[in-house]
């Protein structure tokens, strides 16, 4: 028996790549996607490799690669596939993300035709397993400071890859400890004519039998907080020689004369252009985390709608726990946020396709920068949301939630590091704020904001970028809200959108005002004392992007109960966010105390109102039923 409202909502949530989602739901087998609990580390790793090969065998490794070399579908469609896989074992998800996304993506985007012809078919089929070796022991968030060297020896036309110190050892590298035969190694490129900054070089690391090649030392990061199936490890290189052709040379190369050549003169800009082609990884991580949160909610909500604990007052039937306001308060606002985030995720995925879909060349630098900023912030917001939500779901299922068979604890343990990899969330929020504050040229400074503040003092904050989506539906909503000045509209989407806009703009404007006072002498102090303000600016901007993307999708639906239901869900999301920031709204005179209290009442009312719609909303999430094996919901 299908639920037409759920079907309609699911289609809207599925968005542009609805066919790929449907195909993945129908085709991807649960026995491949899920791993049983209780495997040993080695068993889990072996199983994950087998499952990766099974996925590749079904052709899914081709999604997102260029058609010319055997790829399929759109570049950004791979992010949607990543989301769909995230309903299964996240070890497998990350392993495929390393192979097809990071490693394969680097070969496709940083390499050129010679690399594509030589490697892509083997990468897509899983015949060649590889690593993406960027992070070093001493250098996580600060990629520009990597120490590994790639020194060009013109006499042999080779690069010499070397790890000069303990802090230069590559670490946390997926596929390294067990499977990789080759790695994309990020290293400081040097030729006879000087240093050229970080570049990527293909370095074989194991022979066909799996033995480390001479000069390559491989370590195992061992047991982790989660992702037991991913063989994270370390690489150290002792003057390992690779042919000149192994340089991934899309943005810089060594000519036949042994001299460095690049179409991008500025080394900083070159570096960030290279990094920019890797933004897809952050889109994927956010989407994967969002999917994991939805799976957890589906489990906890179904359990909560069935579990009885205490009898009600005299003579009444026992009440299911989800009928308690406290339980609804835990789960429903998070469900609403998960739904809102889905639309923001769809929006950045579509935008990624628009900007990088064809070639990865940066045609629209302004747009690319805006996308990077939004993706950085959305990744941070979504992964934290996922971590928080899965934990709350675990607790909402009590002791049963703690049993591995009920799927919540492994999910949470696995998602944990999503807040760290592909960029530490706090650093990413600062990056997002920076994208809002500085103009394009100013960005090619350091990744670190204090450095940037020092260097571009005087420019910072001059230009506060206004990043509305500028779409007609949203504008109409806001216009309606700002025309009203009575207190009756608290519980409306238009009012919420207007509040989100006011909050984001005010926080950003006042931040600009503070940072404008920076000069070389006070830059660190000034930045440091404003750091909480910086983070708030990023978060409120992202919140606004999320609500606007969701409202835009909702406004585009045909009138009817599905559209009406989604509106109520988005209002719950928005009011919950406003409630969290109530103090800000009160301090800044954007809410009266009466209206502030009305927000809390409205949330409580909405929880009760949406309670009967929970089954429909869970159905609309579109999680394949066979991937939810938790005995507590069966």
Rule CB under 8 A: is residue 577 a binding residue for a second copy? Answer: no
Q: How many residues bind a second copy (CB under 8 A)?
A: 87
Instruction: Please state at what angle helix 325-356 crosses helix 561-580, rounded to 10 degrees.
Output: 100
Q: Kindly state the tokens that stand for 79.
A: 């992010």
Rule CB under 8 A: is residue 405 a binding residue for a second copy? Answer: yes
Neighbours of 509 (CB within 10 A): 12
Q: Which of 531, 555, 613, 629 binds a second copy (CB under 8 A)?
A: 531
Phi, psi of 450 (to 5 degrees): -60, -40
Rule CB under 8 A: is residue 69 a binding residue for a second copy? Answer: no
Rule CB under 8 A: is residue 312 a binding residue for a second copy? Answer: yes
Footprint on residues 313-332 left by a second copy (CB under 8 A): 313-314, 316, 319, 323-327, 329
Footprint on residues 551-570 left by a second copy (CB under 8 A): none
Q: Which of 424, 439, 567, 609 binds a second copy (CB under 8 A)?
A: 424
Least gap, CB of 423 to a second copy (angstroms)? 11
SS3 203: strand
Rule CB under 8 A: is residue 458 a binding residue for a second copy? Answer: no
Rule CB under 8 A: is residue 11 a binding residue for a second copy? Answer: no
Rule CB under 8 A: is residue 523 a binding residue for a second copy? Answer: yes
User: Within 13 Å and on the Cβ side, how many CA atoms surround 561?
Assistant: 9
Instruction: Please state at what angle helix 279-304 crosses helix 325-356, rounded to 10 degrees.
Output: 160
Footprint on residues 201-230 left by a second copy (CB under 8 A): 221-226
Rule CB under 8 A: is residue 451 a binding residue for a second copy? Answer: yes
Q: Kindly state the tokens that stand for 118.
A: 């030589």
Least gap, CB of 388 to a second copy (angstroms)? 9
- For residue 415, the surrounding DSSP H or E stretch is helix 408-416
Three-point CA angle 260, 265, 268, nearest 5°: 105
Rule CB under 8 A: is residue 37 a binding residue for a second copy? Answer: yes
Rule CB under 8 A: is residue 140 a binding residue for a second copy? Answer: yes
Q: Which is nearer to a second copy, 596 or 629 (CB)?
A: 596
Rule CB under 8 A: is residue 195 a binding residue for a second copy? Answer: no
Strand partners, 219: 234
Least gap, CB of 409 to a second copy (angstroms)? 3
Question: To 10 degrees, the CA torsion angle through 207, 213, 217, 221?
Answer: -10
Q: Which is nearer to a second copy, 241 or 588 (CB)?
A: 588
Rule CB under 8 A: is residue 412 a binding residue for a second copy? Answer: yes
- Compute the radius of gyration of the chain from its Cα atoms: 25
- For residue 219, the surrounding DSSP H or E stretch is strand 216-220
SS3 173: strand
Footprint on residues 70-129 left by a second copy (CB under 8 A): none
Q: Which of 49, 425, 438, 576 binds a second copy (CB under 8 A)?
A: 425
User: Which of 165, 515, 555, 573 lies closest to 389, judged by CA?
Assistant: 573
Q: Which of 19, 358, 479, 587 binds a second copy (CB under 8 A)?
A: 587
Length of the chain: 634
Least gap, CB of 231 to a second copy (angstroms)? 13
Q: Which is nearer to a second copy, 111 or 226 (CB)?
A: 226
User: Which of 208, 157, 210, 137 lies closest to 179, judged by CA?
Assistant: 210
Rule CB under 8 A: is residue 609 a binding residue for a second copy? Answer: no
Footprint on residues 238-297 left by a second copy (CB under 8 A): none
3-state secondary structure labels for all residues of 285-311: HHHHHHHHHHHHHHHHHHHHCCCEEEE
């Amino acid at each position: 028996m299908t639920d037409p409202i759920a079907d309609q909502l699911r289609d809207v949530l599925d968005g542009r790549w609805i066919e790929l989602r449907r195909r993945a739901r129908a085709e991807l087998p649960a026995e491949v996607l899920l791993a049983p609990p209780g495997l040993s580390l080695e068993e889990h790793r072996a199983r994950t490799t087998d499952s990766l090969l099974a996925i590749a065998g079904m052709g899914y490794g081709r999604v997102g690669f260029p058609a010319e070399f055997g790829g399929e579908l759109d570049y950004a469609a791979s992010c949607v596939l990543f989301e769909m896989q995230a309903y299964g074992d996240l070890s497998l998800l990350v392993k495929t993300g390393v192979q097809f996304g990071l490693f394969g993506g680097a070969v496709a985007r940083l390499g050129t035709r010679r690399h594509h012809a030589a490697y892509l078919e083997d990468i897509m089929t899983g015949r060649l397993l590889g690593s993406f070796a960027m992070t070093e022991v001493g250098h996580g968030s600060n990629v520009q400071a990597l120490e590994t060297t790639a020194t060009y020896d013109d006499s042999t036309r080779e690069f010499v890859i070397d790890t000069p110190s303990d802090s230069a050892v590559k670490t946390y590298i997926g596929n390294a400890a067990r499977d990789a035969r080759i790695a994309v190694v990020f290293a400081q490129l040097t030729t006879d004519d000087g240093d050229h900054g970080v570049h990527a070089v293909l370095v074989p690391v194991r022979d066909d039998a799996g033995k480390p090649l001479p000069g390559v030392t491989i370590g195992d990061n061992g047991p982790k907080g989660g992702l037991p199936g991913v063989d994270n490890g370390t690489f150290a290189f002792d003057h390992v020689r690779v042919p000149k052709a192994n340089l991934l040379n899309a943005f810089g190369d060594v000519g036949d004369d042994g001299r460095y050549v690049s179409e991008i003169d500025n080394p900083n800009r070159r570096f960030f252009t290279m990094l920019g082609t890797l933004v897809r990884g952050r889109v994927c991580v956010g989407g994967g985390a969002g999917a994991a949160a939805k799976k957890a909610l589906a489990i906890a909500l179904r359990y909560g709608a069935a579990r009885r604990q205490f009898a009600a007052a005299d003579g009444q039937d026992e009440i299911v726990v989800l009928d308690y306001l406290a339980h609804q308060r835990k789960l429903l606002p998070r469900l609403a946020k998960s739904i809102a985030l889905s639309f923001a995720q769809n929006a950045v995925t579509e935008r990624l396709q628009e900007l990088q879909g064809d070639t990865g060349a940066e045609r629209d630098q302004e747009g690319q920068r805006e996308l990077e900023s939004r993706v950085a912030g959305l990744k941070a917001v979504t992964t934290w949301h996922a971590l928080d939500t899965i934990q709350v779901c675990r607790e909402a299922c009590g002791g049963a939630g703690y049993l591995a068979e009920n799927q919540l604890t492994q999910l949470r343990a696995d998602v944990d590091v999503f807040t760290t990899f592909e960029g530490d969330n706090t650093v990413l929020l600062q990056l997002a704020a920076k994208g809002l504050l500085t103009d394009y040229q100013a960005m090619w400074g350091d990744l670190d904001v204090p450095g940037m503040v020092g260097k571009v003092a005087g420019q910072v904050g001059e230009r506060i970028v206004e990043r509305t989506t500028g779409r007609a539906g949203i504008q109409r909503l806001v216009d309606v809200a700002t025309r009203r000045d009575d207190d009756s509209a608290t519980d409306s989407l238009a009012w919420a959108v207007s509040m989100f806009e006011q909050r984001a703009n005010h926080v950003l404007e006042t931040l600009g005002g503070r940072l404008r006072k920076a000069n070389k002498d006070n830059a660190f102090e000034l930045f440091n004392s404003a750091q909480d303000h910086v983070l708030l600016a990023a978060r409120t901007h992202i919140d606004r992007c999320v609500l606007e993307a969701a409202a835009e999708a909702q406004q585009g639906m045909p009138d009817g109960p599905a559209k009406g239901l989604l509106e109520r869900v988005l209002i719950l999301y928005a009011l919950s966010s406003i409630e969290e920031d109530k103090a800000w709204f009160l301090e800044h005179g954007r809410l009266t105390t009466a209206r502030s209290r009305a927000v809390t009442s409205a949330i409580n009312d909405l929880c009760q109102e949406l309670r009967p719609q929970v089954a429909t909303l869970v159905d609309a999430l579109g999680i394949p039923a066979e991937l939810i094996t938790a005995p507590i919901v069966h």
